[in-house]
């Protein structure tokens, strides 16, 4: 599904049994949800295993940070990973940081 700006907001993939449904309550269809801000920057993604990715941008639409909440096997302990994006438009570097308690 696409929004009025022709941006992908919901993606449906076939599950293990090969069926595909448009119903969000159908557990055999794998849905991925995408969100955007008013400037058109992608702000979040929720995958079929409920892993979330949040993209943080500044006022000039430059991505500053990516925050991921990952679940091993789709359930259980949540691992929170932050990647900070630094540098200028020509040389972007990412420094992943694992926020798990020691």
Instruction: Spell out the domain ranges in the chain.
Output: 33-98
Q: Give the H/E segment covering residue 92.
A: strand 92-98
Q: For the chain, 102 residues long, give each residue's pLDDT as a single digit of tens.
A: 999 999 999 999 998 899 899 898 888 999 999 999 999 999 999 999 889 999 999 989 988 899 999 887 666 677 888 888 776 555 555 555 555 555
Q: Which of 47, 81, 44, 50 has the alpha carbon at shortest distance from 63? A: 44
Q: By the 8 A CB rule, do 40 and 24 touch?
A: no
Q: By the 8 A CB rule, do 32 and 43 touch?
A: no
Residue 40: the pLDDT is 94
DSSP label at residue 28: T
């Amino acid at each position: 599904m696409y929004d009025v700006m022709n941006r992908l907001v919901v993606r449906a993939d076939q599950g293990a049994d090969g069926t595909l449904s448009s119903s969000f309550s159908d557990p055999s269809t794998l849905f991925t949800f995408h969100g955007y801000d008013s400037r058109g920057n992608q702000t979040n993604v929720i995958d079929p295993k409920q892993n979330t990715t949040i993209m943080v941008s500044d006022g000039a639409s430059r991505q500053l940070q990516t925050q991921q909440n990952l679940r091993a096997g789709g359930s259980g302990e949540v691992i929170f990973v932050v990647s900070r994006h630094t540098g200028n438009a020509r040389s972007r570097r990412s420094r992943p940081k694992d926020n798990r308690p020691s």
